[in-house]
Amino acid sequence: MESSGNLKVLNALDGAKTQWYHFTAIVIAGMGFFTDAYDLFCISLVTKLLGRIYYHKEGSPKPGSLPPQVSASVNGVALVGTLAGQLFFGWLGDKLGRKKVYGITLILMCVCSIASGLSFGSQPKGVMTTLCFFRFWLGFGIGGDYPLSATIMSEYSNKKTRGAFIAAVFAMQGFGILGGGVFAIMMAAIFDSRFKAPPYEVDPVKSTVPEADYVWRIVLMAGALPALLTYYWRMKMPETARYTALVAKDAKKAASDMSKVLQTDIESEQEKLDEVMADSKYSFGLLSKEFAKRHGLHLLGTTSTWFLLDIAFYSQNLFQKDIFSAIGWIPPAKTMNAIQEVYKIARAQTLIALCSTVPGYWFTVFLIDRIGRFTIQLIGFIMMTIFMFVLAFPYNYWTRPEHNMGFVAIYSLTFFFANFGPNATTFVVPAEIFPARFRSTCHGISAASGKLGAIVGAFGFLYLAQNKDPAKADAGYPPGIGVKNSLICLGVINFLGTLCTFLVPESKGKSLEEMSGEQEEASGERRA
């Protein structure tokens, strides 16, 4: 008997030429990721504004800012929610099916995006509490989109261009970051021209107009629109053939669904599938010794590399504000009014996204099926290690004004090689190398490990990078080890990522069943 990997419906998918339905799937899944990135990163555009509105101190020479604990909560609660959502919806996607759960995550994201902008009350405690509450559940929905989008795209793709298709979905994250920045720029420009205000140093009270409270709310709520636009098409997508056949064990429905998608007749082969599924080896569980033997090192590889990568990727907060201020992209806060500050921050982050983040993603899309996942990830980690050390050891050299642009160039290259490197491949590979019945769960576990790294990078290093001199540390923070030593730590973390990459197999040009061992299981039963 032929293997499950040789069911005609799966062969048809593996060998299908690139068709319109591939691009439809990329857009439908990609718009979810556009929304994910917009929602996760847009909060950093408005936190300064929240500080000015709700934490203004009379007579202070500087504008109000969020206290460290409040700032950490507002910025980090969505990451915690995302981690939880990745684990829960990843598991649910294998239990109920990719399509059923896919709609739930989208609705949750849309509702909580809108609710975030409607945070109740006028007092700081009430607004921040409700904002954090809704952003946790927003993150929970976003978390579900990671394993489901990757799994759906991998199971719809042909084996020749599968890597590019999954990477293209993830690359929409770059456009989400860019879209958030552009929209914040537009809102700030409109409000600043309509409601004139003096800089903080001229008039601390009038520098924050009452209407500024609408700006951050509109920016957060706009995140619901892209996802809402694709809800209908997301619900019209049929369940993936691999889930229907290999998990739900309904070859007839899988063949029927894919016959419509591929516009060709496909034989169902239900009897063949029933024989394969009767194999006792095929029924091992996620926590079994058999899984550990077959896929344990692979899962260790995907979780460790994503964890290490996200520590480095999300630690950008360490020196971003210093860079932007040093090169004049963001002037001192007291020289601007509240809305102008939003404009300047959004412009700076948009420029970084445009120059390094977006190009890196698309280099991966174009090259991943040519040079392979392993090579791209290895090169990315190696280059990030080198650039971190180049920034770290002569750090005092880079802090001089005449060398600031050199620092920005290397900083941008670090992000370029993160995105043309492990930031993309850590998303792609877990969707390809595990069996269909664990694929969404294992991707969710890998992604959750990444988000744990993101929390360490964004907040652990925020405290760690504080100046050794308590007098020079940011208000409310204890002294740390300094930026230079933090950069050395990040270089070491990237080097460890390079080593852990050797635990991850290459999946270029291979079918999902060949990578996961499902083909081997079934053909082994046949030989017996």
What pLDDT is recorded for position 276? 62
Which residues have CB under 8 Å from 143's CB, separation 6+? 81, 82, 83, 84, 85, 86, 87, 88, 89, 444, 447, 448, 451
The C-alpha atoms of residue 452 and residue 459 are separated, in whole angstroms, by: 11
User: Cα-flanking dihedrals φ and ψ of residue 202, to 5°?
Assistant: -85, -50
Map residue 193 onto helix, strand or coil.
Answer: helix
The pLDDT of 101-115, averaged and rounded, is: 91
* End-to-end Cα, the chain, rounded Å: 11
Q: Which residue has the higher pLDDT, 439 or 478?
A: 439
Task: Show the DSSP H helices in 212-337 as ranges.
Answer: 212-221, 224-236, 241-242, 251-262, 270-277, 289-314, 317-326
**Predicted local distance difference test score (pLDDT) of residue 319:** 62
Distance CA 186, CA 85 (A): 32
Mean pLDDT confidence for 152-169:
91
- Please give the DSSP secondary-structure letter assigned to residue 281: G
Residue 372: both structure tokens together: 């392979």
Q: What is the DSSP string of 362-378?
A: HHHHHHHHHH-HHHHHH
| CB-based contacts of 246, cutoff 8 Å, min separation 6 | 4, 435, 436, 437, 518
466 Rama class: left (phi>0) / alpha (psi -120 to 50) / beta: beta
Q: What is the predicted pLDDT for the residue at 212?
A: 92
340: amino acid identity, one letter: Q
Q: What share of the chain is helix, strand, coil (3-state, %, to 5)?
A: 75, 0, 25
Residue 284 above 80 pLDDT?
no
353 against 80, higher pLDDT: 80
Residue 254 pLDDT greater than 70, yes or no:
yes
Tell me which of 56-60, 143-147, 523-527 is least confident.
523-527
Q: For the range 16-22, what are the long-range contacts, defined as Cβ-Cβ under 8 Å and sequence gap of 24 or more?
A: 16/158, 16/262, 17/158, 18/158, 18/161, 19/262, 21/156, 21/261, 21/262, 22/156, 22/157, 22/158, 22/161, 22/165
For residue 106, what is the enclosing H or E element? helix 98-117
Q: What is the pLDDT of residue 60?
A: 84
Cα angle 511, 513, 515 (rounded to 5 degrees) comes to: 70
Residue 25 has a CB neighbour count (10 Å cut-off) of 23
pLDDT over 80 (residue 498): yes
Q: What would the mean pLDDT of 82-108 be, rounded to a whole number?
A: 93
pLDDT(2) > 70: no
Rounded-to-integer distance, Cα 119 and Cα 50, Å: 12
Residue 228: pLDDT over 50: yes
- Report d(CA 110, CA 427) in Å as an integer: 23
C-alpha 108/C-alpha 87 separation (Å) is 16
Average pLDDT of the segment spanning 208-234: 89
**Angle, CA 82 vertex, CA 352 and CA 111 arms, to 5°:** 95
In the predicted model, what is the mean pLDDT of the chain?
Answer: 86
Q: Is the pLDDT score of 1 beyond 60? A: no
More confident residue, 318 or 507: 507
Distance, CA of 368 to CA of 509 (rounded, Å)? 10
User: Which residues, including other chains, have CB under 8 Å from residue 95's CB and lie 6 or more apart?
Assistant: none
Maximum average pLDDT range among 63-77, 228-242, 491-505 = 491-505
DSSP H helix total and E strand total for the chain:
25, 0
Please answer whether residues 369 and 164 qualify as being in contact, where contact means their C-beta atoms are separated by less than 8 angstroms: yes
**Rounded CA gap, 122 and 307, in Å?**
38
How many whole angstroms separate alpha carbon 312 and alpha carbon 203?
A: 40
Mean pLDDT over residues 92-101, rounded? Answer: 91
- For residues 192 and 340, is the Cβ–Cβ distance under 8 A? yes
Contact criterion met (CB below 8 Å) for 304 and 450? no
- What φ, ψ does residue 116 adopt, rounded to 5°? -60, -40
407: left (phi over 0), alpha (psi -120 to 50) or beta: alpha
**pLDDT one-digit tens code per residue, 379-399:** 999 999 999 999 888 888 877
**What six digits make up the tokens of 298?**
């692979």
Pairwise CA distance, residues 175 & 3, whole Å: 40
Predicted model pTM:
0.90
CA-CA-CA-CA torsion for 262, 264, 270, 271, nearest 10 degrees? Answer: -140
- Residue 317 has a pLDDT of 60
* Residue 341, pLDDT above cutoff 70: yes
Q: What is the pLDDT of residue 340?
A: 92
Amino acid at 414: T
Confidence of residue 342 (pLDDT cuts 50, 70, 90): very high
| The pLDDT of residue 155 is above 70 | yes
Buried b (16+ CB within 10 A) or exposed e, 9-18: bbebbbebee
Residue 446 to residue 297: CA distance in whole angstroms: 12
Of 100-104, 234-238, 304-308, 434-438, give the range with the top mean pLDDT.
304-308
Buried b (16+ CB within 10 A) or exposed e, 466-479: beeeeeebeeeeee
Single out the residue of 185, 230, 245, 316 nearest to residue 33, CA to CA.
Answer: 230
